[in-house]
Structure 1
């Protein structure tokens, strides 16, 4: 990801830890459908047609879960500290939100409890970051950000 900002600053990239790409997920779903509908067809031939209905409902539920997973597999947060400002790009389900904060006026609230995010605010603009990091990594990120901002 090349940006138009000078690289004198520091940057962080936080993203989901996904074990399957959307393409691999499609192949896995197709294999599940072939197996499940194959078994359901055997039961249908034996006269138990209601198994086919339950299989269709099950595969529809799995498809919904897989679509949600695939839609959010490429979500990330990109944080760039350069030229006295903090640029935060957050991508969720293909929608990007970009916020630029002035570090001179920046207030940071580090997470105190495991579920909390890092809250940043500058001149009335607020953003929460650290969605894709674990609680210990969020605290470490907050410390790194605070150090980088005060030493630039």
Structure 2
């Protein structure tokens, strides 16, 4: 979590830990393709063109896998909390989804529908955002607890009025049930 003191803004960035940069991915793909062609060429020269055709098919499949990896390598979820709003931004490939909600009416828990690997479920009325699929379960639990604590602290500024229910009342189940 990062905190912008000037705006009193808290930000949770949930993204993959990419082991290879796009340039490194391209270089490694090129080296693998060159190795495959280096092995297939002697067979093609000897007259076994089927081996060369299979090598070309392997390179095409490898290119498809690398393109899929590159498309989703920079996917992320970002949750930002200020006094007036909770903003959730999700980047998935070429899609960008943005939710902008009143933090007083947001509920946060771990999605029980996926008991083995639950994501963080953020609800506001009938809208739901499932975040955290790019990070480990331990990190998801930690972020959900931090986010609930931050929402409770921001809701506490309004006291026990009827128009601002506490986060604990809005949370359907405790996070400890998923451990």
**TM-score, with length taken from structure 1:** 0.90
Structure 1, unmatched stretches of 5+, are 1-5
1:7 aligns with 2:7: yes
Q: How do 1:90-129 and structure 2 match up within 5 A?
A: 90-112=90-112, 113-129=115-131
Helix, strand or coil: the match of 1:97?
strand
Matched with 2:37 is 37
Matched with 1:68 is 68
Deviations 1:48-91 (A, max 9, x none): 11110110111111111100000111111111000232101111
Deviations 1:15-62 (A, max 9, x none): 111111122111111111111112111111122111101101111111
Deviations 1:83-135 (A, max 9, x none): 23210111111321110121111122224533111111113221111111211
Distance (Å, rounded) in 2 between the aligned partners of 1:139 and 1:26: 35
Distance (Å, rounded) in 1 between the aligned partners of 2:67 and 2:22: 9
Distance (Å, rounded) in 1 between the aligned partners of 2:116 and 2:135: 11
Distance (Å, rounded) in 2 between the aligned partners of 1:29 and 1:118: 34
Helix, strand or coil: the match of 1:34?
helix
After superposition, the CA RMSD in angstroms is: 1.4
Distance (Å, rounded) in 2 between the aligned partners of 1:119 and 1:84: 20
Helix, strand or coil: the match of 1:18?
coil
Helix, strand or coil: the match of 2:121?
strand
Matched with 1:3 is none
Distance (Å, rounded) in 2 between the aligned partners of 1:141 and 1:120: 12
Structure 2, unmatched stretches of 5+, are 1-5, 155-179
